[in-house]
Amino acid sequence: MQTPVLQVSDLTKSFGDVVSVDRVSFDISKGEILGLLGANGAGKTTAINMILGIITPTGGSVKVFGEDLHQSRIELLRRMNFCSTYTQLPGNLRVYQNLKVFGKLYRVPNLETRIDEVLALLEIDHLKTRVSGELSAGEGTRLNLCKALLNRPELLLLDEPTASLDPDIADKVRKVVSRIRDEEGTTILYTSHNMRDVEEVCDRVVFMHKGKVLFTGTSDETLQHFKEESLEDVFIRVARSGDLESASSGVEDDGKEPRS
């Protein structure tokens, strides 16, 4: 059996008395897209930051390509990349300058050609010489994605990549994500509040609530488990649940049966 590309085991993070991520475990196989879902404050971004080594876990482990992240962080990061709606590339640099800097940081071979490729892939090649700070929100997000794809990452972490995009561009981004998985076998961890994103691109989902994993499975398995019609319904129900038991047991807080 192939070693999972990403193995997260009992990952825990406490900030003082607050437990942001509580013994979270999941694996992602090569070429799989796993959706990490949950309301604001569920612990998704903290989990991603621990996978990147930006936050040190209180407990548990992160293994990437079978190696412990904290033992070989720099080497592993060369094979990974990430894109987050919470970050930007320096606004005073031109688009190609930003990509050149990050391409060098990730030691991308044939960098000039690769920059042209990723810009064309995200359909912003006409913006190559534009100043990054002058781009629209959607163009900026696509530039972030270009940065994330530069080094042909084997493991790609996408933190709400379609958050600021209009439906047309969001659709294009989803197609790009699916395409790089299909063509390059990229393994992707994908967080989103847009359940359409998740239904369209993710093979499996992990539902988090208040730092814990509620459920892991395919979209269909998730719907069956929660007895809901759509992932959006599951999301809303989980988000509105006062505690983990009511969120995961199939009974809502008010005692009513969930919609079926």
Partner 1 sequence: MSLGTIQALVLRYLYLYTRTPIRAIELVFWPLVHLLVWGYLTVFLQKHTGDGFPYEITFLIGAVILWDILFRAQQGVAIFFLEDVWSRNLLNIFAAPVSNADYLGSTYVVGFLRAALTSTMLAVLSLLLYSFNIFALSWALLPYVFNLLIFGWALGMISTALIVRWGPAAETLAWAVPFFIQPFAAVYYPVSALPIALQWVAKSLPCSYVFEGMRETLKSGVVDWQSLGIATGMNLIYLAAAGVLFVRVMNVAREKGLLTKFSSQ
Q: How many residues bind partner 1 (CB under 8 A)?
A: 35
On whether the CB atoms of residues 165 and 173 are closer than 8 A, the answer is yes
Closest distance to partner 1 from the beta carbon of 52 (Å): 4
Q: Are strands 6-15 and 18-28 parallel, antiparallel or unpaired?
A: antiparallel
Closer residue to partner 1 in complex, CB, 104/179: 104
**Is 92 one of the binding residues for partner 1 (CB under 8 A)?**
yes
**Is 112 one of the binding residues for partner 1 (CB under 8 A)?**
no
**Is 59 one of the binding residues for partner 1 (CB under 8 A)?**
no
Which residues is 19 bridged to in the sheet? 14
Phi first, then psi, for residue 11 (nearest 5°) are -65, 130
Among 100, 128, 172, 196, interactor with partner 1 by CB under 8 A: 100
Closer residue to partner 1 in complex, CB, 106/235: 106
Pick the piece of the chain touching partner 1 (CB under 8 A) from 29-37, 86-94, 116-124, 193-201: 86-94
**Is 109 one of the binding residues for partner 1 (CB under 8 A)?**
no
Among 40, 56, 71, 260, interactor with partner 1 by CB under 8 A: 56
Closer residue to partner 1 in complex, CB, 1/18: 18
**Is 105 one of the binding residues for partner 1 (CB under 8 A)?**
yes
* Dist CA 96 CA 78 (whole Å): 20
**Is 240 one of the binding residues for partner 1 (CB under 8 A)?**
no
Sign of the C-alpha dihedral computed for residues 82, 115, 89 and 164 taken in this order: negative
Contact residues for 237 (Cβ-Cβ < 8 A; gap 6+): 226, 228, 247, 252, 258
**Is 19 one of the binding residues for partner 1 (CB under 8 A)?**
no
Closer residue to partner 1 in complex, CB, 99/234: 99
CA dihedral angle for residue 91, residue 93, residue 94, residue 96, rounded to 10 degrees: -110
Pick the piece of the chain touching partner 1 (CB under 8 A) from 76-84, 190-198, 200-208, 211-219: 76-84
Q: What is the 3-state secondary structure (H, E, C) of 68-132?
A: ECCCCHHHHHCCEEEEECCCCCCCCCEHHHHHHHHHHHCCCCCHHHHHHHHHHHCCCHHHCCCEH
If residue 189 lies in a helix (H) or strand (E), which one and from where to where? strand 187-191
**Is 52 one of the binding residues for partner 1 (CB under 8 A)?**
yes
**Is 60 one of the binding residues for partner 1 (CB under 8 A)?**
no
Contact code string over 146-175 relative to partner 1, x by CB under 8 A: -x----------------------------
Q: Look-up: residue for tokens 């192939």?
A: 2
